[in-house]
């Protein structure tokens, strides 16, 4: 059975449209066939999209500087959804240079194929540190240290909602003439940290992500004394529900081309929605976390001295290349402003150097 048939079967068995979150779960994570569970190349030039660590080592080096500020001698790092493993290699390399290596670098990765790729990347880049890297299949207990998730929240299945007759309804996925189509389901009621958008005109469509909030909540119990760094494209509620954003934030990527159609290239294209950082921060506070900072990726990296790597590079060709990479990471037209960093802490309340130049927590 191919993935298209799996999804149609699940709608038929449900005898009603399935939620978009259920569709996204199948399209991205169905064993062996889902986008993140199959063997295809995803990250980098040969894949479908480029993430910040794939763009430049300086991204991981700066994150390492932030880790170094708070890591204690017996601490660990835990990275979620580690992609090709390149971010882990960058962070471990720089923490080695700073003489601040964690006891363990845990990776919680859902895909066995990606676990294998991560092992290869780290073994090639840092064979001497491979024994510190441990792959987990579930949340640890009593974790102490730093938790990192780069572009993980945006890959968590979200619900789509649509305004009709001054109410919000869930927009599900059904079948019409053997083709997957959007279909309106039941009314959505506000609950927990999820706030519904203000009423705009009928047809206004957006997303809510309960799964991401449940994930934040489950993290609280797994951690004892920790800092969490969540990096993702997203915005605070006011921007997320801006009246001009009438069609939400759903984006699909196939071979570096963006589209808003999740029903094509199923299993071969990435599907994501932007992160509503206000919902995440509200949930985090409800769970017991403290918000320790919120900034654009640009100002976070600048606070951590991304430009120093350029200034300290003696080789002119390498300097030119680093300058290009920094532009990609910090320019507003590239990743600088659409990506944000949210820091949450449990029992580790430190004034973080990453938010020295900017802390937009008040906007959340």
Ligand X SMILES: C[S@@+](CC[C@H](N)C(=O)[O-])C[C@H]1O[C@@H](n2cnc3c(N)ncnc32)[C@H](O)[C@@H]1O
- Residues at the contact surface with ligand X, assessed by CB under 6 A: 36, 43, 51, 53-54, 80-83, 87, 108, 110-111, 114, 150-152, 155-156, 215
Distance in Å from the first CA to the final CA of the chain: 44
CB of 204 to ligand X, least distance (A): 27
Minimum distance, C-beta of residue 295 to ligand X, in the bound complex (Å): 18
**What stretches of 196-341 show up as alpha helix (H) in DSSP?**
210-222, 237-240, 277-287, 297-303, 306-311, 316-330
Which of 243, 247, 237, 236 shows the shortest CA–CA distance to 196?
A: 237
User: Is residue 341 within 8 Å of 93, Cβ to Cβ?
Assistant: no
- For ligand X, the closer of residues 117 and 236 by Cβ is 117
Residue closer to ligand X by CB (options 20, 168) is: 20
> Which CB atom, from 209 or from 278, has the smaller least distance to ligand X?
209
Residue 182 Cβ, how far from ligand X at the closest point, in Å?
Answer: 23
Nearer to ligand X, 87 or 194 (CB): 87
User: CA nearest 60: which of 83, 93, 84?
Assistant: 93
What whole-number distance in Å separates Cα of residue 62 and Cα of residue 50? Answer: 18
Q: Please report how many Cα atoms fall inside a 13 Å half-sphere around the Cα of residue 68, on the Cβ side.
A: 18
How near is the Cβ of 114 to ligand X at its closest, in Å?
Answer: 6
CA–CA distance, 316 with 305 (Å, rounded to integer): 19
Q: Which is nearer to ligand X, 111 or 328 (CB)?
A: 111
User: 162 vs 230, which CB is nearer to ligand X?
Assistant: 230
Name the minimum Å distance from CB 53 to ligand X: 5
Give ∠ CA 79-339-110 in degrees, rounded to 5: 30
Give least dist CB 3 to ligand X, A: 16
CA angle 84, 88, 91 (to 5 degrees): 140
3-state secondary structure at position 149:
strand
Q: What is the smallest separation between the CB atom of 191 and ligand X, expressed in angstroms?
A: 21
Residue 334, φ and ψ in degrees, nearest 5:
-105, -120
DSSP 173: E
Closest approach of ligand X to the CB of residue 275, in Å: 12
For ligand X, give the closer residue by CB, 137 or 317: 137
- Closest CB to ligand X belongs to which residue? 81
* Distance (Å, whole) CA 212 – CA 195: 14
Q: Measured from the CB atom, is 135 or 182 closer to ligand X?
A: 135
């Amino acid at each position: 059975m191919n993935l298209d048939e799996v999804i149609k079967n699940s709608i038929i068995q449900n005898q009603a449209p399935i939620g978009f979150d259920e569709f996204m779960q199948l399209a991205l994570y169905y064993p062996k066939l889902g986008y993140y569970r199959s063997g295809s190349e995803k990250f980098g030039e040969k894949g479908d999209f480029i993430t910040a660590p794939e763009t430049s080592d300086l991204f991981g080096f700066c994150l390492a500087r932030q880790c170094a500020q708070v890591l204690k001698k017996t601490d660990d790092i835990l990275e979620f959804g580690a992609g090709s493993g390149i971010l882990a290699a960058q962070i471990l390399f720089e923490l080695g240079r700073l003489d601040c290596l964690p006891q363990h670098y845990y990776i919680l990765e859902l895909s066995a194929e990606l676990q294998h790729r991560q092992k290869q990347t780290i073994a090639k880049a840092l064979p001497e540190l491979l024994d510190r890297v441990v792959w987990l299949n579930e949340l640890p207990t009593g974790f102490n240290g730093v938790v990192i998730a780069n572009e993980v929240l945006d890959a968590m299945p979200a619900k789509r909602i649509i305004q009709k007759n001054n109410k919000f309804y869930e927009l599900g996925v059904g079948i019409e003439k053997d083709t997957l189509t959007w279909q309106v389901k039941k009314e959505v009621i506000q609950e927990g940290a999820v706030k519904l958008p203000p009423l705009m005109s009928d047809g206004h469509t957006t997303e809510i992500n309960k799964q991401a909030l449940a994930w934040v909540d489950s993290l609280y119990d797994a951690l004892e004394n920790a800092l969490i760094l969540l990096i993702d494209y997203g915005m605070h509620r006011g921007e997320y529900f801006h009246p001009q954003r009438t069609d939400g934030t759903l984006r699909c990527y196939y071979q570096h081309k963006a589209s808003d159609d999740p029903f094509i290239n199923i299993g071969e294209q990435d599907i994501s929605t932007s992160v509503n950082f206000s919902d995440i921060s509200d949930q985090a506070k409800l769970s017991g976390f403290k918000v320790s900072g919120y900034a654009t990726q640009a100002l976070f990296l600048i606070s951590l001295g991304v430009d120093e790597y350029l200034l300290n590079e003696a080789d002119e060709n390498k300097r030119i290349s680093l300058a290009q990479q920094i532009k990609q990471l910090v320019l507003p037209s590239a990743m600088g402003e659409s990506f944000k960093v949210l820091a949450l802490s449990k029992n580790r309340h430190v004034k973080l150097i990453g938010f020295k130049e900017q802390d937009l927590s008040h906007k959340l």
